[in-house]
Structure 1
Amino acid sequence: MNQIQKWLFLAVFSALTLGCQKDDICPEGTETTPLLVIEFYDAEDPSRLKAVQNLVVKAAGKEVFLGPVTTNSISIPLKTDEGVTEYSFTANNNSPLENEDLISFSYDPQSEYLNRACGFKVNFTNIDVNTQQDEDNWILSEIVLQENVENETEAHISIIH
């Protein structure tokens, strides 16, 4: 009886220790799907950054994503499973000067396998931007600075207002 208990204990102990694996945890600092970086520039001096007052950003048909905030640069996500993402950009939110412009970003999503722990990230290529024209656009023009969105270190789009 004592011999059976020893063998049973040894079998259970071996199964537990040999069956365990190291946890798959994606290391901190691993590149993930990048955000689209947008900088806002002054229409009178296009080389000078200019903050948008009380900016609110909403994805089409969604809740407020960002704002209200006064800033000259934002980072927003793009849809990874589609080739188009639409946002509403509202300047001077909740004031008599409130003005909303609709912007559409089109691109080609490219999946990239990182590893088993981290899975995939999506880069975006051939990015294009288009502001829907209305009678009172606060966004005067857009410039694509980088056609490929692969990191968040530099601006991808500049908006002149």
Structure 2
Amino acid sequence: MNRFQKWLFLAGFIFISFGCQRDDICPEGTDTTSLLVIEFYDPLDPTRLKAVSNLTVRASGMEEVLVESSTVNTVSIPLRTNENFTEYIFTVNSGSDEENSDTVTFTYSPDPEYLNRACGYKVNFNSLDVAIHDDEDNWILSETIIQESVENETEAHIYFTH
């Protein structure tokens, strides 16, 4: 090795050894922006979860599907962090002759929270509200807001009956 290569190797070694500090890596398990958790219930027995057949969820105006035709009683979906509303289309019996779509708008106040230099920010959502757009055949019958703040994903924030 010539002298230049030795100095380049030494400089690279020093940079790699001392260039990154321990706090430059966001630890696994650090809170991040939480998803909105929605549970679906039976209107005749509001204490009983009721699965939605072949549910598909996608953001209004987008082609990307967030929940792909599955039978579930709970969904977790993201809210837009740069706006104060997010609109989704919930489709039941997706892909069948009985397909039915409802448009739902979630409004909220985004509240960025600084975590640290490595992790940056997470966004909490306060003053959560929901509106189901009326059409001639809504399959979502009602909504109940359980938690007006979305700060974690451990419990449901909204209940829908269908």
In the superposition, the TM-score normalised over structure 1's length comes to: 0.89
Q: In structure 2, do the counterparts of structure 1 residues 135 and 14 end up closer, same or farther at CA, with 3 Å as the change threshold? A: closer
Correspondence 1:54 to 2:54: yes
Alignment size in residue pairs: 155
Q: Which amino acid aligns with 2:46?
A: P
Aligned pairs (5 A) from 1:4-153: 13=10, 17=14, 20-23=18-21, 24-63=24-63, 64-153=65-154
Q: In structure 2, do the counterparts of structure 1 residues 18 and 44 end up closer, same or farther at CA, with 3 Å as the change threshold? A: closer
CA shift, 1:25, in A, is: 1.4
Runs of 4+ in 1 over 2 A off after TM superposition: 12-23
Q: In structure 2, do the counterparts of structure 1 residues 96 and 18 end up closer, same or farther at CA, with 3 Å as the change threshold? A: closer
SS in structure 1 at match of 2:106: strand
Q: Name the Cα RMSD after superposition.
A: 2.0
CA shift, 1:18, in A, is: 7.0
Deviates more, 1:16-25 or 1:63-72: 16-25
CA shift, 1:21, in A, is: 2.3
Q: Which amino acid aligns with 1:37?
A: V
Q: Which runs of 5+ in 1 are unaligned?
A: none
Q: In structure 2, do the counterparts of structure 1 residues 13 and 131 end up closer, same or farther at CA, with 3 Å as the change threshold? A: same
Q: Distance in 1 between matches of 2:42 and 2:74?
A: 12
CA shift, 1:16, in A, is: 5.3
SS in structure 1 at match of 2:58: strand
Q: In structure 2, do the counterparts of structure 1 residues 26 and 96 end up closer, same or farther at CA, with 3 Å as the change threshold? A: same
Q: Which amino acid aligns with 1:17?
A: I
Larger radius of gyration: 1
Identity of aligned residues (%): 57
Q: In structure 2, do the counterparts of structure 1 residues 141 and 25 end up closer, same or farther at CA, with 3 Å as the change threshold? A: same
Q: In structure 2, do the counterparts of structure 1 residues 14 and 148 end up closer, same or farther at CA, with 3 Å as the change threshold? A: same
Q: Which amino acid aligns with 1:40?
A: F
